[in-house]
Chain A
Amino acid sequence: MSFKNILENWSAFRKDAEAGGHHKYDHRWGMAINLDVCTGCNACSTACYAENNLPVVGKERFEKGQAMHWMRIERFWDDADKQYPERGASYLPMMCQQCGAATCEPVCPVAATYHTPDGLNAQVYNRCIGSRYCSNNCPFRVRYFNFYSYYETWAEPLNQQLNPDISVRDKGVMEKCTFCVQRIRTANDKAKMENRSIADGEVQTACAQACPTGAIVFGDTMDPNSAVSKLWAKHEVKRGDYLSKKPKQHPEKRGYRIFEELNVDPSVMYLERVREEI
């Protein structure tokens, strides 16, 4: 294979990323997060800890960057915010963006992270050998490495609330947001038992469920009638699009995807926060 060949394949893959690239999808799970109503309350993050068996690492390890928060709230101070601090910071919930052309996948030496037919970046924990290439290649920095065997020291009554539908990861394994795949799996089993496909709104991620302002909408972006697809369409954000965040033409169209310019095709659309220009 020549270098030219590689480039051609690459561009072909990129060009029809909208149609799924070389993947054949049954579903393509996606999200829309309205930053305008996000209050930065961290309920999503807390719900994620409870749902996904995430260990609380403590201050010291947090400072070393060993926190395991699959969902974190990022805080930004714009210049104007600094000038008028009473306006408060801007918040942005950040988790795995389940990229359509994920940079984490091709670098895994053992193929423990791969793309599923429902458009998720899977992480097969028992396959993972902990090389950490994937996290180093992730532009969003949303992959977390287990530096310790937390299950051994899980605080006493809390081990009773571990979720049996998802494994408790051991030391040496990479992990990240899964879009609550265990809930998708349960809904899928239920739907298949009733000979139908998963209905819109049947699967809700823990973060979406916990959000008090309803900022997070989750659903199948391949189903044009799902709530999330309608939001994507309304804000003119498309799969495979390079730059949805065009120069402001319309105040209503606030949708964008983070690092779209890297063309990783994230599955999460954010709706920009509306703030008075000062």
Chain B
Amino acid sequence: MFYKHVCKLVLPPVLMFVSMLLMSGAPARAELAAPPGVTPPVGTYAGADVAQPIEFPHDIHVNVNKINCMYCHTYARRSKVAGIPPTSKCMGCHKMIATDKPRIQKLTEYFEKRESPKWKKVHDVPDFVHFSHERHVKKFVFDADLPVENVEQVCGLCHGEIKAMTVAKKNKPLTMGFCQRCHEANGGPGDCWKCHK
């Protein structure tokens, strides 16, 4: 009897503590942690490589230089789409940084021609699906009082570990089951017309 209680009440926190200790010492490539209190949706996907006009390295910007996801993907917190930053935003840094690198020279060329690189879409749910970034970011970041530095954990729920990628790739399925399982676990809607249009 007593033993059972020990198992139920004491053991899990102890295990959690131990695993947290282990995790904190782990190298940066470890699986991205879910934000606290969120049951992460399960499922992985081996997305194809997408040929981009300029190979944009997320790892250099996010992992090495600690630039926040929402510095570039500004609209994630206030609209349906997260948006890709305009070239002028890149140039805010790259007028000065790494100007000798061929990729940056290409970027500067685009900027001087007043064109933007034609980024290919990596994540693309079908047109009949209504999806809104702001609602999810509000729920998991602002309503949950998650420090904004940790926003990548929230993005990671649906986009995986972008910060470890040299070129963005789809690595979560983003299918109906994937969305719906998370909605069931975390209090999202189950009504068809919330997602289908």
Q: A125-B128, A192-B135 are in contact. Are A182 and B193 (CB under 8 A)?
A: no
**B192 closest partner in A (C-beta):** A124
**Option from A167, A181, A189, A193 in Cβ contact (under 8 Å) with B193:** A181
User: Contact between A165 and B134 (Cβ–Cβ < 8 Å)?
Assistant: no
Asked whether any CB of chain A lies closer than 8 Å to the CB of B132, the reply is yes
Q: A114-B192, A122-B192, A124-B192 are in contact. Are A167 and B197 (CB under 8 A)?
A: yes
Cα–Cα, bound, A127→B126 (Å): 14
List residues 103-137 of chain B with CB under 8 A from any CB of chain A: 126-128, 130, 132, 134-135
**Option from A120, A125, A164, A168 in Cβ contact (under 8 Å) with B196:** A125
Asked whether any CB of chain B lies closer than 8 Å to the CB of A185, the reply is yes
Cα–Cα, bound, A165→B191 (Å): 17
CB-CB under 8 A from A164, the residues of chain B are 127
CB-CB under 8 A from B196, the residues of chain A are 124-127
Q: A126-B128, A166-B197, A185-B130 are in contact. Are A193 and B192 (CB under 8 A)?
A: no
**Interface residue tally for chain B (C-beta within 8 Å):** 16
User: Contact between B191 and A116 (Cβ–Cβ < 8 Å)?
Assistant: yes
User: Contact between B127 and A167 (Cβ–Cβ < 8 Å)?
Assistant: yes
**B130 closest partner in A (C-beta):** A185
* Distance (whole angstroms) from the CB of A237 to the closest CB of chain B: 26
List residues 160-188 of chain A with CB under 8 A from any CB of chain B: 164-168, 181-182, 185
Cα–Cα, bound, A168→B127 (Å): 9
* Distance (whole angstroms) from the CB of A167 to the closest CB of chain B: 4
CB-CB under 8 A from B78, the residues of chain A are 193
13 more A-B contacts (CB under 8 A) besides A116-B191, A164-B127? A116-B192, A116-B193, A122-B192, A127-B196, A165-B197, A185-B130, A185-B193, A185-B197, A189-B80, A189-B132, A192-B138, A193-B135, A193-B138
Please name 20 pairs of A and B residues whose Cβ atoms are closer than 8 Å in the assembled complex, sorted by A.
Answer: A114-B192, A116-B191, A116-B192, A116-B193, A120-B193, A124-B196, A125-B128, A125-B196, A126-B126, A126-B196, A127-B196, A165-B130, A165-B197, A167-B128, A168-B127, A182-B197, A185-B193, A185-B194, A189-B80, A193-B135
